[in-house]
């Protein structure tokens, strides 16, 4: 029983030692000029971060549109080659070619398809590398802007407190 009482008293004393300093020293409220300054800084911070988010959304939308356009162009080129080769095959067959001529024609078409495929693969690699580089550059620029803004905000906040 005595232990419980001692433990209860110890807990109460501990609670008061933690709570009393917080209650004893009330925080100083900022003056109206300081409060207006701090409120303006808070609004600038919100505006800046919203602009950053909007810029990122716009950048990603641009990237997505460019990617879709690129892939559509590649698909159209492949489709055009296919249609051109189909028409050439029909016209060639109408001339009653020999087996050797037909084999040579097939090889020529196969070579043209491979050349288009290789060219498209190289173009896709270049395109994706450009997109990746643009993505890194954009995010580096945003990071730099964010760091500069926060440094400016910190200095302005100190100036507000000095008012």
For residue 75, pLDDT over 60 is answered with yes
Band (pLDDT 50/70/90 cuts) for residue 30 is confident
Question: Does residue 139 lie in a domain region?
Answer: yes
Q: Which of 76, 75, 106, 115 is CA-nearest to residue 88?
A: 106
Q: What is the pLDDT of residue 162?
A: 85
Question: Does residue 15 lie in a domain region?
Answer: no
For residue 20, pLDDT over 60 is answered with no
Question: Does residue 12 lie in a domain region?
Answer: no
Question: Does residue 23 lie in a domain region?
Answer: no
- The DSSP-derived string for 31-79 is PHHHHHHHHHHHHHHHHHHHHHHHHHHHHHHHHHHHHHHHHHHHHHHHH
Q: Write down the pTM of the prediction.
A: 0.70
Question: Does residue 110 lie in a domain region?
Answer: yes
Helices 32-93 and 99-162 pack at an angle, to 10 degrees, of 180
Question: Does residue 6 lie in a domain region?
Answer: no
For residue 15, pLDDT over 80 is answered with no
For residue 35, pLDDT over 80 is answered with yes
Tell me how many domains the chain contains: 1
Q: What is the pLDDT of residue 9?
A: 67
Give the pLDDT confidence of 119-154 residue by residue, as tens digits.
Answer: 999 999 999 999 999 999 999 999 999 999 999 999
Domain that holds residue 113: 32-162
Round to whole Å and give the CA distance between 50 and 61.
16
For residue 29, pLDDT over 70 is answered with yes
Question: Does residue 150 lie in a domain region?
Answer: yes
Question: Does residue 25 lie in a domain region?
Answer: no
């Amino acid at each position: 029983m005595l232990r419980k009482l001692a433990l209860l008293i110890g807990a109460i004393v501990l609670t008061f030692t933690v709570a009393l300093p917080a209650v004893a020293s009330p925080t100083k409220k900022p003056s109206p000029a300081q409060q207006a300054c701090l409120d303006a800084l808070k609004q600038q911070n919100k505006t800046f971060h919203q602009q950053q988010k909007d810029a990122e959304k716009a950048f990603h939308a641009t990237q997505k549109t460019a990617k879709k356009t690129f892939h559509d162009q590649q698909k159209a080129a492949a489709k055009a080659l296919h249609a051109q080769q189909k028409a050439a095959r029909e016209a060639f067959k109408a001339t009653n070619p020999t087996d050797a001529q037909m084999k040579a024609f097939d090889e020529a078409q196969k070579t043209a398809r491979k050349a288009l495929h290789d060219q498209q693969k190289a173009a896709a690699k270049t395109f994706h590398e450009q997109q990746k580089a643009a993505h890194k550059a954009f995010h580096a620029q945003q990071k730099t802007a964010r760091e500069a803004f926060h440094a400016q905000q910190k200095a302005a906040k100190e100036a507000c407190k000095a008012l």
